[in-house]
């Protein structure tokens, strides 16, 4: 039985592990913290705009497990908020334990508190990764899903300092790029002004610290929009956000909240003293990042070059998913790329032809798409969502999506 190691247990890593396991491989996840899902523990938005299309494509291709799980953990469905339609918000507090159970039930081993720091590689082929404890873990194929956020130095140099976010670098050690250690070439995304990386696009508030009226709106509607006084409007923060689909004037002119178990506030950071002057926020507390009054984590600092099979360029048996695989924003994007990486890792281990997804699918189009400015890409908005519409790829009609996947010969491919 082939052995496949997934490095990083975020949404892309879990998706990669599930897909690889379904090819018949023995799969092991190395996760440096004590939680799966990474940034998914403070995310919570699914199926908004083109993400609905991509989710249903994955389901038709046989990768429905994680989408079914977030649907089950939904706090609200079919919610519209500025620039976005038919969104599902999942409870980030409930999701991780359920993903952990799913992975375990599938027979996938997860090694928590295990940080990969180096790769043993000869002529582009990995034989093992080295952990911070000095252990060498061997496998036939590897998948880098380590993400692009951290270490602390990047947040210090290109952000406002360590924001004490859910990734918890000081406690569990910094992220290390295995793709770069193995001989791949990493690059970084840029903000509008050319600064490397971008701030994470939201902060989480303790819901009980908000006024009863705001909590009522969140729990009834899934979202609450509170206008800001003119002196607190700061449009400059829009250009610093990774989430370009939220870089719209309403997100500068209002406090826009989403119910994800916490109250997700759609801004990179907001000075606490100023926020507490807004009616209903007099006693507000940040949950993640704890320094959300000052800054946020800096992402897209270690994206790697890859081929159409999700294999890291310059390597033979290292694949990649999530932010590591491109300037992609969001959980749906992470699951989509991680699934293809895991499936192809399994195919590679068996000596089979690797799979590519055609541009007649939304996912295949995303993987092939490049912005002229080298900016971030998402199914949920900005230039790529406009491209989806132009190409007739965006739809919420499941029958059309099923037909599309069938015509591409991809129905159930991830179960084969």
Instruction: Report the C-alpha gap between 188 and 375 in whole angstroms.
Output: 10
Give dist(CA 391, CA 377) in Å, integer.
16
Chain Cα centroid distance, residue 357: 20
Spell out the per-residue pLDDT of the chain, length 416, in tens. Answer: 999 999 999 999 999 999 999 999 999 999 999 999 999 999 999 999 999 999 999 999 999 999 999 999 999 999 999 999 999 999 999 999 999 999 999 999 999 999 999 999 999 999 999 999 999 999 999 999 999 998 999 999 999 999 999 999 999 999 999 999 999 999 999 887 888 999 998 999 999 999 999 999 999 999 999 999 888 877 665 555 445 455 667 878 899 999 999 999 999 999 999 999 999 999 999 999 999 999 999 999 999 999 999 999 999 999 999 999 999 999 999 999 999 999 999 999 999 999 999 999 999 999 999 987 778 899 999 899 999 999 999 999 999 999 999 999 999 999 98
pTM of the model: 0.96
CB 377 within 8 A of CB 386: no
Cα–Cα dist 240/15, whole Å: 29
For the chain, which residues make up each domain, given as ranges?
3-193+298-415, 199-288
**What does each C-alpha distance from 66 to 102, 189, 228 come to in angstroms?**
9, 27, 36
Residues 6+ apart with CB under 8 A from 201: 241, 242, 243, 246, 266, 267, 268, 296
DSSP 307-336: -TTSBBTT-SSEEE-GGGGSSB-SHHHHHH
Chain centroid to Cα 361, Å, comes to 20
Residues 284 and 215: their CA atoms lie apart, in Å, by 12
CATH class of 3-193+298-415: alpha beta
Q: What is the spatial distance between Cα 22 and Cα 143, in angstroms, rounded to a whole number?
A: 15
User: Which residue(s) pair with 81 in the sheet?
Assistant: 84
Taking the C-alpha atoms of residue 404 and residue 59, their distance in angstroms, rounded to an integer, is: 12
How many angstroms separate the CA atoms of 12 and 409, rounded?
A: 24
- Rounded Cα distance between 277 and 269, Å, is 15
Q: Which helix (H) or strand (E) holds 75?
A: strand 74-81
Q: How far is CA 129 from the centre of its chain?
A: 23
């Amino acid at each position: 039985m082939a052995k496949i190691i997934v490095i990083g247990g975020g949404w892309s890593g879990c998706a990669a592990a599930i897909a690889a396991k379904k090819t018949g491989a023995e799969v092991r996840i190395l996760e440096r913290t004590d939680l799966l899902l990474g940034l998914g523990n403070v995310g919570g938005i699914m199926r908004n705009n083109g993400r609905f299309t991509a989710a249903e494509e994955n389901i038709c291709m046989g990768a429905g497990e994680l989408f079914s799980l977030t649907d089950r953990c939904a706090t609200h469905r079919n919610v519209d908020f500025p620039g976005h339609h038919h969104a599902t918000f999942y409870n980030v507090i409930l999701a991780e334990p359920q993903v952990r159970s799913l992975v375990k039930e599938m027979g996938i081993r997860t090694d928590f508190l295990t940080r990969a720091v180096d790769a043993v590689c000869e002529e582009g082929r990995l034989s093992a990764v080295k952990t911070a404890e000095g252990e060498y873990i061997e496998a036939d194929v590897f998948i880098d899903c380590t993400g692009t956020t951290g270490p602390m130095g990047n947040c210090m140099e290109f952000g406002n300092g360590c924001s004490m976010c859910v990734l918890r670098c000081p406690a569990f050690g910094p992220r290390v790029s295995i793709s770069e250690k193995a001989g791949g070439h990493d690059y970084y995304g840029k903000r509008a002004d050319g600064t490397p990386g971008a701030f994470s696009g939201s902060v989480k508030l303790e819901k009980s610290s908000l006024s009863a009226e705001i909590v009522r709106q969140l729990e009834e509607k899934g979202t609450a929009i509170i206008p800001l006084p003119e002196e607190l409007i700061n449009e400059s923060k829009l250009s610093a956000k990774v989430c370009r689909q939220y870089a719209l004037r309403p997100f500068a002119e209002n406090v826009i909240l989403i119910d994800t178990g916490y109250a997700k506030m759609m801004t990179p950071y907001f000075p606490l003293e100023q926020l507490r002057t807004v009616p209903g926020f007099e006693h507000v507390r940040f949950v993640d990042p704890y320094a959300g009054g000052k800054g946020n984590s800096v992402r897209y600092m270690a994206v790697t070059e890859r081929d159409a099979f999700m294999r890291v360029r310059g390597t033979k048996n290292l694949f990649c998913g999530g932010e590591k695989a491109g300037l992609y924003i969001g959980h749906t994007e992470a699951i989509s790329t991680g699934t293809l990486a895991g499936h192809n890792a399994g195919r590679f281990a068996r000596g089979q032809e690797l799979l590519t997804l055609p541009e007649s699918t939304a996912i295949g189009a995303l993987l092939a798409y490049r912005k002229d400015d080298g900016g971030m890409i998402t199914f949920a908005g900005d230039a790529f969502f406009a491209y989806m519409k132009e190409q007739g790829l965006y739809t919420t009609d499941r029958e059309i999506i099923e037909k599309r996947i069938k015509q591409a010969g991809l129905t159930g491919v991830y179960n084969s």
